[in-house]
Amino acid sequence: MNGLGGLNKSENGVVMGLVQLQLPVVETPADLAAQVARVVALVGKARRNLGTMDLVVFPEYALHGLSMDINPAIMCRMDGPEVAALKQACIDNAIWGCFSIMEHNPGGMPYNTGLIIDDTGELRLYYRKMHPWVPVEPWEPGDGGIPVCDGPNGSKLALIICHDGMFPEMAREAAYKGAEIMIRTAGYTAPIRQSWRFTNQSNAFCNLMITANVCMCGSDGTFDSMGEGMFVNFDGSIIAHGTTGRADEIITAELRPDLVREARLGWGVENNIYQFGHRGYVAVKGGAQDCPYSYMTDLAAGRYRLPWEDDVRVTDGTGCGFDAPTRIYGETTPEAAE
């Protein structure tokens, strides 16, 4: 199914490249401009590297590094020069691209935003990270849900970011909306290696969905990101895996969304994405289609509360150097309202 990393592309295949991008240090607008130029150059490398490649994926923090700096001078805007350069790179190299920006938010903290841009420079998917990696990350929680877009060669794509993938509900939502390939970009460092691997596999198997996953790579002098570009097939088996930790290596594979569609229609045993909403259909016609899960109904009703809620010790970012927030979700800052 891998087609020798995409060298032999089948009629129904989607060839994807995961860039294990060298972790940068970005502190100034000049640093940001230089890093954008570097990513643009690597889009060109991806095209030269494999003429069959449909989509090249860059990790979370590809432009900004892991400093968690919220300096407005280095935040991106959708109509700014950074996004324009990424769009032009896709046009110039006739390739789709998946990119990461830290996006200025006049109403609060910046958004951690993911973009999928097609080979004509059109924005196909815009996603704001739903689950920032608290207490370490300061980003505003995403407010746009999990979008799905049409991708190359008739595929359906979703994008989640890093810590999102630790919540099985995220992958389930992507699949429920029709995604056949779910991209997961990340900046994770080595302590998360095993969790990264088994969640990428479980997200795929539990939803009959291919997952394509990649982290930043190498050291910035403080942090060590792990690369770990990883394609997982819908049965949970690993298609390709970048285990060397070599920075800027592009891990490639041919993916087959047509076989995802076949499995979702034809599997009986372990068709979990269908069976979740049709419990026990052997016993009762159509299966039970209720919602028996307390955490779901409580969350929907705004009363989600753990039995040990009052004893949770870390509930803000003060331990990581951030001020305790006072603004309620959905409110804007006074500056933004003026």
Instruction: Say whether 11 is catalytic.
Output: no
Instruction: Say whether 162 is catalytic.
Output: yes
Of the residues 9, 60, 173, 217, only one is catalytic, namely 60
What is the rounded CA–CA span in Å between residue 79 and residue 67?
24
Q: E strands along the chain, which residues?
A: 14-19, 55-57, 96-103, 111-117, 123-128, 148-150, 156-161, 181-186, 210-215, 217-219, 224-226, 230-232, 238-241, 250-255
Of the residues 9, 82, 90, 129, only one is catalytic, namely 129
26 neighbors 63 (Cβ within 8 angstroms): yes
Instruction: Say whether 60 is catalytic.
Output: yes
DSSP 215-239: E-EEE-SS-EEE---EEE-TTS-EE
What is the rounded CA–CA span in Å between residue 36 and residue 83?
9
Three-state SS for 182? strand
Of the residues 162, 206, 215, 217, only one is catalytic, namely 162
Upstream peptide bond of 307 is cis (omega within 30 degrees of 0): no
Catalytic residues: 60, 129, 162
